[in-house]
Amino acid sequence: MVKYVYLPHFCLLIYPQDQWNEKEQKIVYEQLTSKFRSFIDNNPWDEKDWDELTLFNPQKPENNPAMGAWGIISPCVVCDALIPTFIDKQGNKQGLILFSHSQLVPTDLVQFLEFSLSHAKIKKVLILSLDEINITGKMSSIQALKWIPKGQLQSCNLTEMKNSITQKGLHSGILYEIRKDKF
């Protein structure tokens, strides 16, 4: 049987500080994807043609950028299984859901979170990281659900998260809710 590798996933739900208008949401999207991409462009494996590693909107693949030979970035079966979790967490509140088929190294992740939460238009961030999945045979989004953790939510502020990432790294399968530090 054929072995399949499903790339690691990095998933974000960005909550606005106040309501965003369409222009503000687009600006936040562009700033976050640009910052994330800057870390990927400096990655140790230097796969600049593998643009699928950038952040993309899994709910609106038609709005995602066309990326070289890969075409338009679109969700995989694992993404399809994750989307309902993030929609559920978003509820009827405004927000921005972004996924990547990549992980940031801990130092880059800390810098990305600092950048995100220092943004005046961002209130808090939910992140989920999933390690690469290796299986025999193709997986449907229904089968992918078994890889998605249930009910593991950790809330913390940015300083607590930075300390955790620095000391232990980001644990695969745990949904982290990260708030701005209060001064």
Highest mean predicted confidence (pLDDT) among 1-15, 63-77, 106-120, 133-147: 106-120
In this prediction, residue 118 carries a pLDDT of 94
* Cβ contact 16:94 at 8 Å: yes
* Structural domains in the chain (count): 1
* Cβ contact 135:6 at 8 Å: yes
What torsion, rounded to 10 degrees, do the Cα atoms 54, 58, 64, 68 define? 50
Which of 19-28, 41-50, 103-112, 140-149 is predicted with the least confidence, judged by mean pLDDT?
41-50
- More confident: 51 or 153: 153
- More confident: 161 or 9: 161
Asked whether residue 90 carries a pLDDT value surpassing 60, the answer given is yes
In this prediction, residue 94 carries a pLDDT of 86
Q: What angle do CA 69, 61, 77 make, to 5 degrees?
A: 85
Question: Average of pLDDT values for 63-68?
Answer: 52
| Percent of the chain surpassing pLDDT 90 | 27
In this prediction, residue 46 carries a pLDDT of 46
Asked whether residue 119 carries a pLDDT value surpassing 80, the answer given is yes
**CA 109: distance to chain centroid?**
11
> What's phi and psi for 40, nearest 5 deg?
-65, -40
In this prediction, residue 49 carries a pLDDT of 46
Q: 169: pLDDT confidence band, cut at 50, 70 and 90?
A: confident
pTM over 0.85: no
Asked whether residue 48 carries a pLDDT value surpassing 80, the answer given is no
What range defines the domain where residue 14 resides?
3-179
- More confident: 173 or 24: 24
**CA 177: distance to chain centroid?**
13
141's CB contacts (< 8 A; 6+ apart) are 77, 78, 80, 81
